[in-house]
Amino acid sequence: MADSVLVVGGAGYIGSHMVKLLASTGHEVVVFDDLSTGHRDAIASSVLVEGDLRDPVAITKALALRKFSSVLHFAAKCYVGESVQDPAKYYGNNVLGTANLLEAMRTNGVGKLVFSSSCSTYGDPVMTPMTEEHPQDPVNPYGATKLMGERAMKDYGRAYGLRTVALRYFNASGLDADGTLGERHDPETHLIPLVLREALRLRAGGARDATQLQVFGDDFDTPDGTCIRDYVHVSDLCAAHLLAMRRLDAPGRAFEAFNLGSEKGSSVLDVIECCRRITGQDIGYKMAGRRAGDPARLIASSERARRDLGWSPRYADLPEIVSTAWRWFSRT
């Protein structure tokens, strides 16, 4: 009999890609989502339980629907700037919501969890590439709430036997290779979609000098002066979740954390130039000042995930990642 998996936040960008992978590998999937940022059409015919993770009754009822083998937790508010301006939203959703989920799992006897965490739990890098042993000292409420989630999972593991794998993403990017799943954030803050939207504007006849695309800072200690980030394809993130689920089948592991990144750094200008080549559009931009808290470099060491999970990114290079995204953005 196929395993039943509850995907919390399964109608969002990464969650919907995960739902598709789970369905294709024979799992029975139930999605729990409030659709505040997710989309019903992104999860096809999968069972949807519409509910708010901040409501303990709603998530407890969802977990009682059937005997779930594990839970995948993607439901988080995730805008760094917004978390600084409105921390209450982040502590309410990311901390209180996660606490409700953990308690509902305990009530319903579900003992395995894969948690979408973030490199934001590390804060400013003191070493690159960043390993899982890097100090966790987040510099914004988003990272702080992700770290609080990890700590709660460790405590539940020690006290109640919960087994958790926390996957610390670097920059999630790209789209499903067949072009059927998109990236629809409002507002959009991810660099690659913003650059591709500018390419679409130019393709439709827009003037290059009317661009609203901004580059925040050109005076960092990097070869071209712009920030360097590690981009990892969304489908590779989902593959890691599947491997993490299998790892949790082995007894004796209460909490483990793994970085997920390509281990390659691309600057903001590298990304723009790559998008120019892929789209054939002469994409322009406006230079703006640095954003508070932006480090010069964030690059993962994913050695532990390779060694212990058997994970290896399929989309290892930036042009491959951008091409999958452009396939969806340019579909019309």
Task: State the average pLDDT over residues 99-123.
Answer: 97
User: What is the amino acid identity at position 253?
Assistant: R
101 C-beta neighbours (distance < 10 Å), count: 28
Asked if residue 204 and residue 136 are part of one domain, the reply reads: no
Asked if residue 65 and residue 13 are part of one domain, the reply reads: yes
Name the helix (H) or strand (E) containing 232.
strand 231-233
The answer to whether residue 178 is domain-embedded is no
- Alpha helix stretches (DSSP H) within the chain: 13-24, 56-63, 80-85, 87-90, 97-108, 141-160, 191-203, 234-248, 268-279, 303-304, 318-329
Asked if residue 205 and residue 58 are part of one domain, the reply reads: no
Distance of alpha carbon 143 from alpha carbon 158, whole angstroms: 23
Are 98 and 113 within 8 A, CB to CB?
no
Of the three residues 211, 241, 259, the one that is the final residue of a domain is: 259
**In this predicted model, what pLDDT tens digit does every residue of 289-299 receive, in sequence order?**
998 778 899 99
Asked if residue 245 and residue 269 are part of one domain, the reply reads: no
Confidence of residue 7 (pLDDT cuts 50, 70, 90): very high
pLDDT value at residue 250: 85
Task: State the average pLDDT over residues 274-282.
Answer: 98
Distance of alpha carbon 155 from alpha carbon 256, whole angstroms: 13
Pairing verdict, β 70-73 and 255-260: unpaired
Quick check: helix, strand or coil at residue 42? helix
Number of H helices, E strands in the chain: 11, 14
The answer to whether residue 91 is domain-embedded is yes
The answer to whether residue 180 is domain-embedded is no
| Residues annotated catalytic, as ranges | 142
Asked if residue 219 and residue 165 are part of one domain, the reply reads: no
Q: How many CA atoms lie within 13 A of 252 on its CB side?
A: 1
pLDDT value at residue 294: 84
What radius of gyration do the chain's Cα atoms show?
19
The answer to whether residue 250 is domain-embedded is yes
**In this predicted model, what pLDDT tens digit does every residue of 9-48 receive, in sequence order?**
999 999 999 999 999 999 999 999 999 999 999 998 889 9
Asked if residue 151 and residue 209 are part of one domain, the reply reads: no
Confidence of residue 80 (pLDDT cuts 50, 70, 90): confident
What CATH number has the domain bearing residue 243?
3.40.50.720
The answer to whether residue 183 is domain-embedded is no
Asked if residue 325 and residue 270 are part of one domain, the reply reads: yes
The answer to whether residue 62 is domain-embedded is yes
pLDDT value at residue 240: 98
Asked if residue 159 and residue 65 are part of one domain, the reply reads: yes
The range of the structural domain enclosing residue 274 comes to 191-229+263-330
Average pLDDT, the chain: 95
Pairing verdict, β 163-169 and 255-260: parallel
Asked if residue 219 and residue 285 are part of one domain, the reply reads: yes
The answer to whether residue 313 is domain-embedded is yes
The answer to whether residue 216 is domain-embedded is yes
pLDDT value at residue 33: 97
The burial class, CB within 10 Å (0-12 / 13-18 / 19+), for 60 is middle
Name the pTM for this structure.
0.95
Q: Find out whether the peptide bond into 223 is cis, omega within 30 degrees of 0.
A: no
Overall domain count for the chain? 2
Distance of alpha carbon 167 from alpha carbon 234, whole angstroms: 13
What CATH number has the domain bearing residue 212?
3.90.25.10
Asked if residue 92 and residue 58 are part of one domain, the reply reads: yes
Task: State the average pLDDT over residues 79-94.
Answer: 92
**In this predicted model, what pLDDT tens digit does every residue of 130-181 receive, in sequence order?**
999 999 999 999 999 999 999 999 999 999 999 999 999 999 999 999 889 9
Of the three residues 242, 259, 276, the one that is the final residue of a domain is: 259
Confidence of residue 332 (pLDDT cuts 50, 70, 90): low
Asked if residue 267 and residue 217 are part of one domain, the reply reads: yes
Asked if residue 217 and residue 96 are part of one domain, the reply reads: no
